[in-house]
Chain A
Amino acid sequence: MNKLPEFYDLLTEQGSAEAMERRLDAIERELGSVRLRPARRRKGVQGKMKKAA
């Protein structure tokens, strides 16, 4: 047996479902932040736009 922790919370069905919800929230936040990051501008495209103008 491992070293005993100070306490151990045996999750109820509700607690277990809530813990899962928190993990899913964290994934959504992580994915959301990736999606919200502005796309990097490409120098080449900028140059072409200037020429066209």
Chain B
Amino acid sequence: MPDTPVAFDLAGIRLDFTLPLPELLRSVERQIARAGVEVGFVFGASGQLLVQRVGSATAIRFTGHELSLMPGATLTHNHPRRGYFSAEDLLLAHQFDLWQLNAVAGRYVYQLTRPVAGWDEAGLQAFLESETRKIMRQFAQDRNRPAAQAKRNALAQKAVKALSLNVDKVLL
């Protein structure tokens, strides 16, 4: 990781394992909603804690072992700038076969749930590559950085629509 992780007190997070998974998630999400850095928690299908990680300003790093725990699990994390899913978020859910990926954005949580037919990883990769090529080609012509960044920011939303992914927006 290019920069050092920012201090965040994971020990200060209260985990009430008597709660059913959806309520446990909401409880954790309320506690990380205002964190200034990204914080991620991965829970198994029966609510057991599999991974907890504090990111740096630029990334949360998951190890190979942690990734091996992700199929069928739910990963929740906060977006300090309160944004929507990123393309990288979508890719993570697809590549590591998550059951659900949640992103806390201020007072709301975006929930991406695995489709009944499973993730179409190849479809997502192809869509993102094709759209990214378009953005880059346009940038090569007009050198308009803000426009290129804005299109990149909108990429996940476009992918969700194009692939008919199931995203819910829930009030925290």
A-to-B contact residues, CB < 8 Å: 1-2, 4-18, 20-21, 23-24, 27-28, 31
What 7 A-B pairs are tightest by C-beta distance, nearest first? Answer: A15-B58, A9-B59, A10-B60, A15-B59, A12-B38, A11-B88, A4-B64
Q: Is the interface of A mostly helix, strand, loop or mixed?
A: helix
Q: How far is the CB of B31 from chain A (nearest CB, A)?
A: 18
Contact A1 B96 (CB under 8 A): yes
**B residues at A contact (CB < 8 Å):** 1, 37-38, 40, 55-64, 67-68, 71, 77, 79-81, 83, 86-89, 92, 95-97, 136, 139-140, 143, 145, 148-149, 152
Contact between chains at A12 and B148 (CB < 8 Å): no
- A12 with B80: CB separation less than 8 A: yes
A23 and B59 in contact, given A4-B68, A6-B64, A13-B83 (Cβ under 8 angstroms): no
Q: Contact between A27 and B136 (Cβ–Cβ < 8 Å)?
A: yes
Q: How far is the CB of A45 from chain B (nearest CB, A)?
A: 30
CA distance A7 to B67 in the complex (A): 8
